[in-house]
């Protein structure tokens, strides 16, 4: 294994077994309770179950996709500043394989959620033209193709990084770059396709060529927020205090700020282009989400998802204050959930939000499985890529 002795003196790159076991047991308990409760919800209100589940599923998958994007970007740019947080990125990315199983309730719930599965769709002049694409068979095939590709690339990148821990060979860095270049193209195409299938087709009369970017922007933002919270959690437990310093948190804060702006830009652009063209097949989506009790949801997202974090995170001092940064990381993860909820739930509750106990239960059920997959990757394995040749450069990083 490649060693960096001057750093190993001050930082332990391995979780204590008792710490790992304690967190694992907590996640298992949450998973058991929440999945049992969700099963009761499935038995009592099948429709609400599937919609609540879809919100949670889309939320956590979007975060994993955000992680995959950033892992690939770090490899392609030869980034040195992020080396000590890249292993945590890789572990978030490597939660994707569990989605191959967690997608099943979405697949089995198509009839409850998607209008294009109903017999009346064949008689609809608009939907009838889309049924060659929007049908159960192709929905299932596309879902497993995209999840299979994400699993392949996440597994390969994770394996390359772990192999480099043992020998520090530069060939692993080059291999990661070779996989990341086509991987980014694959990610944008397949993630957009998945967003269209799982979320946009809830309103099958409507379409937006920007929806895939909108979905990915939210996921990237929530991923960056999750990464910050994980780093801070490990720091509070006594890990990576000298490896992920204020300089690194400053850059993570910059990314959190930049992605807040990018999400707002994409969201506004989509709305502006649809408003300007004012075509019936395009405005239907916003009409549904500006009706009844949903009317106030949009200004809520604009103000709380953009303006508050925008002005709060703009100052340099905010990005270097770990309490402020941690607060807004958690805050923006909550805002991303509200954004996904706003994309999905108006199809079920057209008159306005109707909060169900299954919403938080589905969140905990899906989140605990993703959490267990993430946490399993930290057992007896280094918290940073110790074989990366740029590790020393990262440890000496100073923010300008």
Estimate the crossing angle of helix 322-344 against helix 46-77, to 10 degrees: 130
Q: Spell out the long-range contacts of 367-372 with Cβ–Cβ below 8 A and sequence spacing 24 or more.
A: 367/56, 367/60, 368/27, 368/28, 368/30, 368/31, 368/34, 369/31, 369/98, 369/102, 370/60, 370/63, 370/64, 370/95, 370/98, 371/27, 372/24, 372/27, 372/28, 372/31
Under 8 Å between Cβ of 369 and 98: yes
Sorted by where each begins, the domain ranges of the chain are: 5-395
Q: What is the pLDDT along the chain (400 residues), one digit of tens a residue?
A: 444 444 444 688 999 999 999 999 999 999 999 999 999 999 999 999 999 999 999 999 999 999 999 999 999 999 999 999 999 999 999 999 999 999 999 999 999 999 999 999 999 998 999 999 999 999 999 999 999 999 999 999 999 999 999 999 999 999 999 999 999 999 999 999 999 999 999 999 988 889 999 999 999 999 999 999 999 999 999 999 999 999 999 999 999 999 999 999 999 999 999 888 888 878 888 888 988 899 999 889 999 999 999 999 999 999 999 999 999 999 999 999 999 999 999 999 999 999 999 999 999 999 999 999 999 999 999 999 999 999 999 999 887 7
Beta-carbon count within 10 A of 59 CB: 24
List the Cα angle 352/196/219 in 5-degree steps. Answer: 75
Backbone phi, psi, residue 346, to 5°:
-60, -20
Tokens of 303: 């103000």
**Number of residues that this document lists for the chain:** 400
List the Cα angle 55/330/13 in 5-degree steps. Answer: 110
Q: How far is CA 173 from CA 160, 176, 226, 339, 391, in A?
A: 8, 5, 25, 36, 12
Global pTM reads 0.95
Tokens of 345: 């739930």
Q: Spell out the long-range contacts of 208-214 with Cβ–Cβ below 8 A and sequence spacing 24 or more.
A: 208/270, 208/274, 208/282, 208/285, 210/266, 210/269, 210/270, 210/273, 211/270, 212/188, 213/266, 214/263, 214/266, 214/267, 214/270
Q: Report the C-alpha gap between 192 and 150 in whole angstroms.
A: 13
Q: What is the dihedral sign for C-alpha 42, 349, 198, 181?
A: negative
DSSP 8-class letter at 347: G
């Amino acid at each position: 294994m490649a060693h960096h002795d001057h750093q190993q003196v001050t930082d332990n790159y391995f979780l204590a077994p008792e710490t790992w076991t304690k967190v694992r047991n907590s996640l298992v308990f949450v998973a058991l309770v929440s999945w049992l409760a969700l099963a009761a919800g499935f038995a009592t209100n099948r429709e609400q179950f599937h919609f609540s589940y879809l919100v949670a599923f889309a939320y956590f998958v979007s975060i994993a996709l955000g992680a995959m994007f950033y892992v690939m970007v770090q490899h392609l740019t030869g980034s040195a500043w992020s080396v000590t947080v890249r292993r945590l990125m890789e572990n978030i990315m490597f939660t994707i394989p569990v989605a191959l199983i967690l997608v099943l309730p979405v697949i089995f719930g198509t009839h409850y959620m998607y209008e294009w599965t109903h017999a009346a769709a064949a008689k609809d002049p608009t939907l009838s033209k889309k049924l060659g694409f929007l049908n159960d068979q192709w929905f299932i095939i596309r879902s497993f193709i995209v999840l299979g590709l994400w699993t392949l690339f996440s597994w390969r990148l994770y394996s390359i990084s772990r192999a480099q821990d043992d020998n520090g060979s530069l060939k692993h860095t080059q291999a990661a770059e070779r996989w990341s270049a086509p991987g980014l193209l694959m990610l944008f195409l397949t993630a957009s396709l998945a967003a269209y299938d799982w979320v946009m087709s809830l309103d099958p009369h409507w379409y937006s060529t920007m929806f895939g970017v909108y979905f990915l922007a939210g996921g990237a933002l929530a991923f960056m927020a999750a990464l910050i919270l994980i780093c801070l959690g490990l720091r509070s437990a006594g890990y990576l205090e000298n490896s992920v310093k204020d300089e690194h948190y400053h850059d993570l804060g910059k990314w959190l700020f930049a992605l807040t702006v990018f999400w707002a830009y994409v969201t506004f652009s989509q709305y502006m282009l649809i408003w300007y063209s004012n075509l019936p097949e395009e405005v239907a989506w916003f009409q549904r989400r500006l009706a009844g009790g949903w009317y106030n949801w949009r200004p809520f997202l604009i103000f709380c998802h953009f303006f508050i974090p925008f002005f709060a995170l703009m100052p340099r001092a905010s990005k270097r204050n770990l309490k402020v940064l941690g607060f807004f990381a958690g805050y923006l993860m909550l805002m991303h959930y509200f954004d996904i909820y706003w994309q999905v739930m108006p199809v079920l509750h057209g008159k306005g939000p109707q909060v169900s106990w299954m919403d938080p239960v589905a969140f905990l059920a899906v989140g605990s499985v993703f959490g267990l997959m993430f946490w399993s990757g930290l057992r007896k394995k280094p918290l940073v890529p110790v074989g990366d040749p740029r590790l020393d450069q990262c440890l000496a990083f100073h923010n300008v």
